[in-house]
Amino acid sequence: MLPSLALAFLAHAAAAHAPEVREQLSPAALDAAAWKEHDACVRSERQQRFLAHYLRAKPEQRERAAAALIAARPVGASPNWAPSLEALRLVETELSTGHAAERVELDLLASALDLSVAPGAFHARSEGLGDPLVVRVRRAHPVEVREDFWLELRWLASDGSELPARREPIGFRAVNEQGFEMYVRGPLGPEAPWRLFGVVTRPDRPTEGFALAEVRVDAVADLRMRLEAALAKPRSTQPGFGRVAALARRLVSTGRRGSAALSGGELLSALEHWPESGAPTGIPVPLELGWRETDGVEHWIWTYGPASDPRRALAILSPDSEAPDHVLAGALGALWRDYAERTGTQLFALHLPAQPKEVDGLLARLGQWLEDRPLYALARGEATARLERGFRAGEAPKLAGIVLCGPLVARSDPERYGSVPQLVVGPQAAGATHPRRSGLEGSGVVILDDLSLPAQVEAWQ
């Protein structure tokens, strides 16, 4: 991985621009903030899981899936409503089976449960007993459970083979905000990515099971020794290195995830290969702290640098409900990384602050390293409203172009963005007639329109 001189400047300058640290929060508040960041990763993982099913589906199944997600929008929902995890699960089941699912209680339960594994990676062993692991099972969203059930945990290898891990009866009262724990051992074998998932069944219907979403848990050679050595490397002037170190510590100690793009093994690799001159290229990494909520939740700027010196940059602005590196993860991330390498574009992925007056300053920080290279912005879903409010609040950010993707972008005022060229993607957007605005028809469900955005942005640019 080759360092970018431009990014080296930005990384070393970040300490001067990072928001001041707020009052020291209590351990309980910091723990709650870590869970909130974890929950954003869970949403991103579920959306990426849905997209994987969507990409494998036939065209007619995709059409039905899009219609079902649009129909799932509640009456009176926010203009930038995004499908709930329950809605994604329902449509995902139809995509994978070819027929509409009946919302039985066990399916609802499987949809609601989240697995977190501590440590979030384990030592690769070829003999003896695998590393002991604690699996925390908790609700990702509320669900009503009225009967006891069985939960079986299984390991899924990269070749698709499965290994049983544990099976236990669970009382329905254990499904609460605190959750419950199960104990397993890591599978034997060489260094490799593994995934752990669960299957819930009833005692009287053991063959009728519903699967929980899987979570990645890597087998890593010499995990503890390598992690300690990587954390000992001095990188005090590079905030991104410190953030990766913090995420790795958190994942190993608690199993809580702070990145949708990087697994435990990839976090370790990023630490080991972080260059002295700046952030690494060819892998998504956090760059600097964008802003911090009063409750301690941190919103970091993530980046992906192409192998060649970038000619331009694209800031992808996402809703707070997703992990900040959501667009750099999974199949969607593969599309954006391909775009970055092919076009020589530095990618930034971030959340905009809720305070409109802070939007300009945050985007200006991205532009400092660019010199005469252009910076574009792509706002997705809820982030479109924050970007627009940022333009209203004060001095307009210096942008070469703006892309807006969402259900209401066709109705937005083109004059709001001054002389900046605009592309809008959403329902009725194809009829755009303003001289500075182009339009492309979209579904209005951002996670579906996401898949075409890299090609559309490239063609527009």
Contact (CB, 8 A) for 265 and 286: no
Side-chain half-sphere exposure of 359, counting CA atoms within 13 A? 27
What is the CA angle 329-233-237, rounded to 5? 75
What is the CA angle 419-423-426, rounded to 5? 135
d(CA 448, CA 129): 43
The model carries a pTM of 0.92
Decide which of 23 and 325 is more confident: 325
Average pLDDT score, the chain: 89
Give the max Cα distance, the chain: 69
pLDDT higher than 60, residue 23: no
Q: Read off the pLDDT of each residue in 296-303 and give the average, rounded to a whole number.
A: 96
| Non-local CB neighbours of 411 within 8 Å, separated by 6+ positions | none
pLDDT higher than 90, residue 173: yes
pLDDT tens per residue, range 242-269: 999 999 999 999 999 999 999 999 999 9
Query: What pLDDT is attached to residue 238?
Result: 87
Q: Read off the pLDDT of each residue in 320-328 and give the average, rounded to a whole number.
A: 97
Query: What pLDDT is attached to residue 10?
Result: 43
Question: How many CB atoms lie under 10 A from the CB of residue 253?
Answer: 11
Question: How many CB atoms lie under 10 A from the CB of residue 39?
Answer: 18
pLDDT higher than 70, residue 7: no
